[in-house]
Amino acid sequence: MKHLLTIILLTCCIQAAQAEKIVKRISTKAAGELVLTCNNPDSWKISTQVEQADGKEYLHINLHSATQQVPPKFKVTYTLAQKDISHLWHPRATTPYRFHPNWSGSSWQNSQLAYSIPIVAFFNDHNQNSFLMACSEVFRSVNTQMAIREEGCDMQCEINFFDSPVAPMSDYETVIRFDSRKVFWADAIREATAWIDEAAHITPCHIPDDAYAPLYSSWYQFHQNVFAKDIEEECAIASQLGMKTIIIDDGWQTDNNNRGYAFCGDWEVSKNRFPDMASHVRKVQKMGMKYMMWYSVPFVGYYSKNYKTFKGKYLRNDDNSKASVLDPRFPEVREFLASTYEKAMKEWGIDGFKLDFIDQFKLPKTDPAIAEDYAGRDYKSVPEATDALMKEIKKRIMDVNPNALIEFRQAYMGPAIRQYGNMIRVGDCPGDMTANRIGIANLRLTSGNTAVHADMLEWNKAESALNASRTILSCMFGVIQYSVMLRDIPEDHQKVIRHWLSFSQKHQETLLKSEFKPYSPEAGFPLIEAQSKDERIIGVYQDNICLQTGTTDRKIYILNATCTDHIIADIPANANMTTFDMFGNNIRQQKVKAGIQRMAIPAGGYALLD
């Protein structure tokens, strides 16, 4: 029996070795020797070329076939010595960053049209880039591993292409970028994102000023239990505090409160909840707020009237959510979705949409279209059809209102998604100020000038005003969305909200649109800085670190998001300092001398150096 098992194992190893044919060995300066292997290349011709420019290297990979056929799986592997490599960064992290061993499933990062972005990077303890990999493929699936190999303490790196179902083609090209320059880690990521935009021919969506305005969301406090009267009462308070937009989340389209998506797909207003939607929208807009509505784009619920209408036009079923996922390759599916949003814009006069779950437009292990020879579908590729769908949706919406607001959230993010919307929100992290801050920082690096939003802020009404202020300050470098029950929170909580809403609007240009520098991601970004021509704003999120204020060539604002009433800072020159509490009250004015010192700044408040 033992000998039989040995023979079976040896046979499997031989078959695996035969299946993975080494096609190319490629020499690079940044990554050393690269190995390109391919499962059964058959008649496909694979060519490569390495290009060097501005301290980076680019590996061009081309596949060609004389006929249309499904391309073969292939991968690029290489090994890096773990030298001056302390941490790993990837776009979806919301907790401190760590390495995973190469045998762990957690070591893999996936990206595709509506999920993440193909960038993974190593950095050191000096906030310097050590090595970055980026790929120009943002539509099809790319699986990437940059993990620790226990033998020798090396970093094993692997990039996989076409390891999930893909449509036939005859030509394919992708480019992999390697960057080992010792530059500020965030700059390397920001530059790589801009390069992907250019390489993938991405044109971001128009971004109106309202995309940067603070807003209120119904989700965390109401969930599906939304009614016009309650929303109008909340908006009356929200508008007085300085919020400019409302998002009505799930619940407006159903009388059912059991969560899930069993009743999605008809998109008819619940008359019990909203007797006259158009009139309700106008009431809110008269308060000075824009009105956005939530839709779960791909889902058609098992209990909806439309479920039978689209029978045979689903990618897969999801019994947990009691809904099926539409197949965007059918032209009638795309028309149904695009016309649904166009109709809502025209009939109810709304200002935009929260378009949810577009990452669910993905195939199961077997493409159901193959057995049907793609009957009824005018696209064979799901990513291409999804791209066509989202571009048509954007066009229909913006033909009605060129300044319409369209929000997506992590993990559907990155260059491709920026074509379809102008707001990208941190993925759900209720009550977690650290995860929110990390999510904002990551999105700021990969979203260009698209408006980056915090996940909706909430806290218990029995919480202290100080911790309410700290929660807000943790999200100050993104557009803040609130989802506390405003009618129930204490007056001092409202005063905190009102002050920081005013501050964020007054300093919007610096906080949201100017030079952005997040430090030490491995520690949860204890320090974040933004700088414009006239001012520098620094958020401090950890006690007892020494803040470098930088030159006093402009106004410097220091936001104290810690629990202590002081900040340790190194100031290069004498300055005047004015301190403010969490409500915006002027506490004191004094002169401070150059050098390292303990500065008295109220917890939850801030100081101005000028």
Reported as a single tens digit per residue, the pLDDT across 252-308 is 999 988 888 999 999 999 999 999 999 999 999 999 999 999 999 999 999 999 999
pLDDT of residue 427: 94
Burial 101-118 (b: 16+ CB within 10 A, else e): ebeeeebbbbbbbbbbbb
Identify whether residues 182 and 236 lie together within a single domain: no
pLDDT in tens, 472-506: 999 999 999 999 999 999 999 999 999 999 999 99
pLDDT in tens, 501-557: 999 999 999 999 999 999 999 999 999 999 999 999 999 999 989 999 998 899 999
Domain end, chosen from 468, 489, 508, is at: 508
Residue 312 has pLDDT above 80, yes or no: yes
Q: Counting every residue, how long is the chain?
A: 610
Quick one: pLDDT band at residue 95, thresholds 50, 70, 90? low
Identify whether residues 14 and 147 lie together within a single domain: yes
pLDDT of residue 14: 36
**d(Cα 217, Cα 270) in Å, to the nearest integer?**
19
Identify whether residues 175 and 65 lie together within a single domain: yes
Q: For residue 248, is it within any domain?
A: yes
Q: Which domain holds residue 468?
A: 210-298+333-357+405-508
Identify whether residues 411 and 525 lie together within a single domain: no
Residue 94 has pLDDT above 80, yes or no: no
Identify whether residues 222 and 158 lie together within a single domain: no
Q: For residue 383, is it within any domain?
A: no
Domain end, chosen from 199, 233, 265, is at: 199
Average pLDDT (316-323) is: 93
Residue 4 has pLDDT above 80, yes or no: no
Q: For residue 399, is it within any domain?
A: no
Burial 397-413 (b: 16+ CB within 10 A, else e): bbeeeeebbbbbbbbbb
Residue 12 has pLDDT above 60, yes or no: no
pLDDT of residue 8: 35
pLDDT of residue 13: 39
Domain end, chosen from 481, 508, 535, is at: 508
Q: For residue 377, is it within any domain?
A: no
Identify whether residues 467 and 573 lie together within a single domain: no
pLDDT in tens, 458-472: 999 999 999 999 999
Q: What is the CATH number of the domain that holds 259?
A: 3.20.20.70
**d(Cα 93, Cα 522) in Å, to the nearest integer?**
10
Identify whether residues 100 and 183 lie together within a single domain: yes
Average pLDDT (227-238) is: 98
Task: Note the Cα 48 to chain centre separation in Å.
Answer: 32
pTM of structure: 0.94
Q: Which residues contact 166 (CB under 8 A, 6 or more apart)?
A: 70, 71, 140, 141, 381
Identify whether residues 475 and 520 lie together within a single domain: no
Average pLDDT, the chain: 94
Q: For residue 147, is it within any domain?
A: yes
Whole-number percent of the chain with pLDDT over 90: 90
Identify whether residues 162 and 269 lie together within a single domain: no
pLDDT of residue 213: 98
Residue 10 has pLDDT above 90, yes or no: no
* Residue ranges in 263-356 assigned as alpha helix (H): 277-286, 331-348
Residue 220 has pLDDT above 90, yes or no: yes
Q: For residue 398, is it within any domain?
A: no
Q: For residue 92, is it within any domain?
A: yes
Q: Which residues contact 464 (CB under 8 A, 6 or more apart)?
A: none
Q: For residue 316, is it within any domain?
A: no
Identify whether residues 481 and 540 lie together within a single domain: no
**Domain total in the chain:** 3
Identify whether residues 185 and 262 lie together within a single domain: no
Identify whether residues 23 and 129 lie together within a single domain: yes
Angle (CA) 26-27-33 rounded to 5° is 80
Residue 2 has pLDDT above 70, yes or no: no
